Every structure is written in C-alpha cells, then in structure tokens.
Amino acid sequence: MNSGEQAPTGGLETALNHARRLLDENPALAIQQAREILAVLPDQPQGLYLLAEAHVRSGEPDKALTAAERLVTLIPNNAAGWRLIARLQRAAGDDRAAQAATMNELVAASTDPRLAKAGHALVTNRIPEAEALLRDALRANPADIAALRMLAELAGRIGRYRDSETLLRRALEIAPEFEAARHNLALILFRQARPAEARVEVDRLLARDPHDRAARNLLAAVLSQLGEHDASIALYEELLAEHDGHPWLWLSHGHGLKTVGRTGEAIAAYRRAVAIRPETGEAWWSLANLKTFRFTDADVTAMRTALANDRLNPEDRAQLDFALGKAHEDRGEDVAAVDHYLSGNAMRRQMVPYHPDDTSDHVDRASAFFTADFFVAREGWGCPASDPIFVLGMPRSGSTLIEQILSSHSEVEGTSELADIGAIAKRLSGHVRRGTPSPYPGNLAHLTRDEVRALGEEYIERTRVQRHSGRPRFIDKMPNNWAHVGLIRLILPNATIIDTRRHPIGNCWSVFKQNFARGQAYSYDLADLGRYYADYVRMMARFDQEMPGTVHRVFYEAMVEDSEREIRALLAAARLGFEPACLAFHKTERAIRTPSSEQVRQPIFTDAVDHWQRFADRLTPLQQTLGSLVEEYPGTRVEEDA
C-alpha cells in the first residue's frame, strides 16, 4: 500500500474476507464492499476479482466483464481473471472469445514456457508450431491438464473433433471437476452432431450449478439439434429475459426462429444483434442467408463501415464480405458482388484447411473397391430396415426442395443433415495422418455378416433421437454422404438413395456464395470447388455402373420444368404412394435448418434461369476445372439457388 492510502475499516484482508462472505449472502453488499476497497486501492487485484464475481451473482454480466477485463489488463497472467472472462463469454454465447480467454488462462496457470509459446502461436494461427510445442510438453508430462486442453482446442479449431474429444476426456479423467473442459467436450460432441451425448455432459454441468448460463446456452443449442425446437426457443427467451445485451444469444435465438419458419421474428433477432455490436458479421450474413431478405441502403452503409475497421477479426470480416456480396448481387452490382464473394472466400480458405488430393484419393479407392462382385458376394447382408431415405449430392443442388417434397408425405419425417454415416466412416478410417493411406473402405472386405448388420443397426439407433413424429420413414439430407454411398448400400441395402443434381456451374457458383459454418472446406476456392464437383460426379457414375438402379437421380431443372412428373417418379423410387400434399410441398409446416429454408416455403423458383451467366467472365478457374462436365450435363435448364 502506498503512503497516504488507508485500507477500508478493519484492514485490507478483513475487508476482502467480508466481501467474500457476502458473495452468497448478499451480492449487492459484496459489490459495495469491493467498491470501498477499490476506492482506496483502485488496482487491488482481489478487489477487482470480487467486484466481478459479485456482479455475476447480481445478474450483471456486462459489469462483471468490465471488472474482469480491467483485472487482466493490469495483471495479464492472472489465471482466475481469464477463467472468469471465459465463463462470462461462454454464457454470452461468444465461443470464440471464450476460447481465447481460456487459452490465456491456461498459459497464465502453467509453469511450462512451451505453453506460453504455443498459446501465442495459436493466437497468430501458427497451427503446426503450436501443435509441435504442445505435443513436446505432453511427452514431458502426459498429465499436463493445460497442455491437454490447449491441444484439444487446437484440434477442434481445425476440425479434428475426434482428437479433441479424446484429449478432453483424458483431461476429465485426471480432473473430473474441470468444468471448462466438460463444457468444451459437450461443445465438441455438439459439433459432431451427437446431441444426445452432448446433453449428458451439459446435464452434468447443470447438476452442479442449475444457474450456469453457459451450460444453459449450450443446452438450448443441443435441444435444437435434437429437434426439440420449441424447448430450445423457450430457453433462449428465458436467457434473453435475464440479460438481453449479448449479440451471440440473439444470433442463436434468430437461428432457432428461422428454423421453425418465424422469419419476421428471426429478422428482428438478427437486427438486435447488430444493434448491440454492428461488426457482428454472422448476424449480417444470417440476414443475407434468408435468401428472400433484401438489405436497405442503410444496411449496406453499416456493413461497409464495419468492414473498414482495421481491428475487425477475420471471422467477422469474411462474413461481412459474404453479406455484402449478396447485397450487391441483389442490386445488380455484379462486379462489387463478385469482389466481395472472392474476398470472403479467400479469407475463409486461410482459416479452413482443405487438401483436394485427399478427396480424389478417396474417390479413386472407393471406385475401385465397390464393385458389383463385392455386393453380390454379400447379398442379404446388412440391416434390413427400409426407414432411411438418403438425399445426397452437392449442397445448393435442390436437396432441401426434395426433402420438403418427401416430408409432405404422410409416411415420411424430415430430420436434417445427419452426421452419423460420416461418423461411422471416420471410425472405420481410424486415426491416420495425412499422406498415410486410409484403411477405409478397403477394411470393409474383412467384416463378417454380423458386423455389417451391426453397423446398419448402429445407424438406425443413432438416428432414433432425431425422430419425433412416429412416421415409418425418415430423411437423412447430409450432402457429403455421396462419398459413402457404397457403405450405405452395404449396411442398409433397403434404404432409398436420392442423388440431387444441378447444372455444374450454377450449382458451384451457388455453393461459392454460401458461407458454410463448417463441413464444406472445399467450397472456398473456385478450382477446388470444381474439382470436388468432378470427383462427386465421377464417384456416382462409377457406382451407377456397378450397381445400376440403386440410386434415383433428380435433376433440378427437370423438377422445375415438370414438377408433377418428377415428383411422381421420386415417390415411386422411394416406394411411396402418391399423395397430393407432395405437390403442395410449400404449404407443409416443419422445421428446416438449411439455407434454403425460406425458399422451399414457396412454390418452386422459376425466375432466375441462367442467373450464373451474369458472372461467367469471373468464373474461369471453375469452368476450367469442370471441363467437359458442363457440356455433358443432361439437365434441360439452368436454375439459380435451389
């Protein structure tokens, strides 16, 4: 204490202890006590922490965050301060800020200098350097909780979710009370579309603290993924009633409202998010992603102003570029639109690694492996259930339209893009490093009849949590399942497989304009995108050759040209009787999670034929990669944004 300064009555330690006791008994008095300490000692770290914690207990998260941020500004290696910031940011729904704060907490708490270097490398996106440092630290001390958590964060950031899950489970074995690690584990399970398992972890967090806003926020997201949309929306409304100043909560609430067709309320929620934080790129993109929404002049000015901020983070910058691309495209300002789409994609490409050779290699191996003889030798194998209808192919190819048509049938339930086939394939692939040939699908040759059937039954059981209507059939609309069409045919021989196809350039251009949250890493470069499309067509052509008639193909242009003819053929392929409701699909009320949700609630779009040709002079890398696929495409018309 400097000369002339007086501690509060009874001395500093007495005052601090008094404030600590008041935290549970009377948070308002704890705030007053902490302020008395800080009035005399403005930079007293324990006083700042107690002030922040007291504001948390009083339901004032913004004031708590201000006090905690002041604490770590004064003392950057204060682990408790960073932990509190991470907790507050998670409660606000800002996972990116929470992860950054957690990284600082782990660095501050560690005595290993390698972790400090790794933390800095992660902040500056030097992933290989950070991974090398963390693995070195774990070789020296395999039970280093901080290193395990940081490596799990790194793996999750680049999409290696299985690795992240393994590391987090190891951390929780060592320290079962490590709540931040449990929250991250629930989040990783959620990102792998394993909501039932994620809910188990969230329930454990809430059992310890029923008022944990971060856990309740994550529970709302998990409920949505489980298809319990009304419960999810109600929980978001409850959280926002407690504190409505968090843009990320408004974003999540908007997503839920959009899913159930409450579009006007979703728009209001997204606008509330940008009113709180104008540079929130995801909110602007979410408005653009409604597809039927149109930006005002004031919106465009606000987005340009936010984009001009030199301190804008890359994620917000990329999403603003995508949103501005949509705004300019709607106005017919094509040069500006393409410039923004190119800029947003280039930034996303830097953030999301993609290796096109890996996709081509998988197609090569799968095409050679899944022969007619392979299936003949296994006739009668697999799970006999005919419940699933797989709608696969490229995103933005009309798959949501097909799902909406089928879901209008009394025997079919629309679920969503389910990750279960991909999860089974990843498990079969094992943990192999890039450059090392995957054992999948070759290892399927070694499975017994019982093992193959078990895989099919596992899929049926895993997806049961998504089924709520009691209808006998359901749709799995994961587009990337085309890469596992042979696996599907093997383990679920009676499933229906629908391949949705659209003009190559129109389809790829629509994908390029779509800022996918995750899972479509190939989409951020025109040449990569064209190559991916070519690999997809090559795989499906080979499967058609070996197993003719297994896949029913729907061309979007033909669906536009003669909807009734194509819908009748679609229903017949799915072994469903004709029902008139399937022709009036846009009247069917159900939750839809994909970008086309607003479009398929209207009759089929026919007013944007050849739209992509406006931009043809900027699509040379795509056209060169697609090559003859454009001329060979059998569709009759070119349609925009299915």
- The domain total for the chain is 2
Assigned domain for 229 exists: no
pLDDT for position 564: 94
In a domain, 423, yes or no: yes
Residue 221 maps to a domain: no
Name the nearest CA neighbour of 472 among 583, 574, 319, 611: 574
Residue 602 has pLDDT above 80, yes or no: no
**Model pLDDT for residues 160-212, shown as the tens digit of each residue:** 888 999 999 999 999 998 888 899 999 999 988 889 999 999 999 999 989 88
Cα-based distances in Å from 104 to 74, 78, 119, 169, 472: 14, 9, 7, 21, 50
Could you give the C-alpha distances from 430 to 369, 437, 618, in angstroms and in order?
A: 18, 11, 40
Q: What local confidence, expressed as pLDDT, does residue 608 receive?
A: 46
Distance CA 267, CA 244 (A): 16
Predicted pLDDT of residue 395 = 94
We report the CATH number of the domain holding residue 446 as 3.40.50.300
Region of poorest pLDDT, from 105-119, 236-250, 580-594: 580-594
- pLDDT surpasses 60 at 567: yes
Comparing 368-372, 396-400, 406-410, which segment has the lowest mean pLDDT? 396-400
Q: Of 43, 75, 107, which closes a domain?
A: 75
Over range 272-294, report the average pLDDT.
94
Query: Between 379 and 87, whose confidence is greater?
Result: 379
Q: Of 52-66, 146-160, 453-467, 580-594, which has the strongest mean pLDDT? A: 453-467
Q: Among 75, 102, 121, which residue terminates a domain?
A: 75
Which of the residue ranges 109-123, 478-492, 594-608, 626-640 would you say has the lowest mean pLDDT?
A: 594-608
Percent of residues, the chain, with pLDDT higher than 70: 93
pLDDT at 603 exceeding the cut of 70: no
Over residues 487-518, the pLDDT tens digits come to 999 999 999 999 999 999 999 999 999 998 77
pLDDT average, residue stretch 458-463: 95
Quote the distance between the C-alpha of residue 613 and its chain's center: 31
Domain holding 45: CATH number?
A: 1.25.40.10
Q: Can you tell me the distance from the alpha carbon of 158 to that of 349, in angstroms, rounded to the nearest whole number?
A: 12
Is residue 37's pLDDT more than 70? yes
Write out the two tokens for 5. Answer: 């300064």
pLDDT recorded at residue 591: 57
With cut-offs at 50, 70 and 90, classify the pLDDT of residue 613: confident
Q: Is residue 463 a part of any domain in this protein? A: yes
> And the tokens for 499?
């391949």
pLDDT at position 8, please? 47
Domain final residue pick, 75, 104, 119: 75
- Angle made by CA atoms 611, 615, 620, in degrees to the nearest 5: 125
- Which residue type is seen at 206? L
Domain containing 33 equals 12-75
For 314, the 3-state DSSP assignment is: helix
Mean pLDDT of 222-232: 92
Q: Are 481 and 391 in contact (CB under 8 A)?
A: no
Q: Is residue 22 part of a domain?
A: yes
